[in-house]
Amino acid sequence: MTSPMLAGAAATNNNGGHLSEPTDGYGQAPAVGSNDTPRHPPYMPRPDVAGPGVAGLGWVQDVHVHSGPIYLRIVNTLERTINRGGLAPGQRLPSQRALAQQLGVDLTTVTRAFDEARKRGLIEARGPQGSFIAPPKAGFDQAVDLSMNVPPVPDADALADMLRRGAAAVLARSNAPNLMTYHVGGGNPTDRHAAARWLQPMLGTVDDARLLLTEGAQVALAAILVSQGREGDAILCDRLVYPGLLQAAAALGRRLVTVEGDEQGMCPEALARQARECGARLVYLNPTCQNPTALTVPTSRREALARVLEREGLLAIEDDPYWHLAVTAPIALATLAPRHVFHVATLSKVISPGLRTAFVQCPSAAHAEAMAAALRATRLMGHPLVSALASQLLLDGSAQALLVQVREEARERTRMARYLLAPSLLERADGLHAWCRVPAPWTDATLVRTAQLQGLAIAPSSAFCPPGAAFASGVRLSLGLAADRRQLENALRRIDRLLLSDALPAIER
Instruction: Among 1.20.120.530, 3.40.50.850, 3.30.750.24, 3.40.640.10, name the CATH number for the domain at 186-399.
Output: 3.40.640.10
CA-to-CA distance for 420 and 376, rounded, in angstroms? 47
Instruction: Among 2.60.120.380, 1.10.510.10, 1.10.1270.20, 1.10.10.10, name the CATH number for the domain at 1-140.
Output: 1.10.10.10
* pLDDT on residue 136: 62
3-class secondary-structure state, position 363: coil
CA distances from 269 to 100, 124, 313, 419, 420 (A): 60, 56, 14, 36, 37
Q: Where is average pLDDT lowest: 49-63, 248-262, 411-425, 471-485?
A: 49-63
Q: What is the pLDDT of residues 260-297, one digit of tens each?
A: 999 999 999 999 999 999 999 999 999 999 999 999 99
Specify which residues 359 forms β-bridges with: 213, 345
Type of residue found at 306: A
pLDDT tier at 30, thresholds 50, 70, 90? very low
Considering the chain, tell me which residue range(s) the CATH 1.10.10.10 domain(s) occupy.
Answer: 1-140
* pLDDT on residue 335: 98
The arithmetic mean of pLDDT across residues 138-149, rounded, is 74
pLDDT tier at 18, thresholds 50, 70, 90? very low
Phi, psi at residue 452, to the nearest 5°?
-60, -40
Best CA proximity match to 24, nearest among 81, 60, 65: 65
* pLDDT on residue 186: 86
CA-to-CA distance for 338 and 211, rounded, in angstroms? 12
Q: Which CATH superfamily is domain 144-152+425-508 in?
A: Aspartate Aminotransferase, domain 1 (3.90.1150.10)
Q: Is the dihedral of CA 498, 504, 506, 509 positive or negative?
A: positive
Alpha helices in 314-397 (DSSP H): 333-336, 365-378, 384-395
CA-to-CA distance for 220 and 343, rounded, in angstroms? 10
Type of residue found at 6: L
Per-range mean pLDDT, top range of 31-35, 211-215, 501-505: 211-215
Considering the chain, tell me which residue range(s) the CATH 3.90.1150.10 domain(s) occupy.
Answer: 144-152+425-508
pLDDT tier at 55, thresholds 50, 70, 90? low
Q: What is the pLDDT of residues 433-455, one digit of tens each?
A: 999 999 988 998 999 999 998 89
> Residue 11 above 60 pLDDT?
no
> Residue 23 above 60 pLDDT?
no
Best CA proximity match to 435, nearest among 238, 154, 193, 143: 238
Q: Where is average pLDDT lowest: 6-20, 120-134, 334-348?
A: 6-20
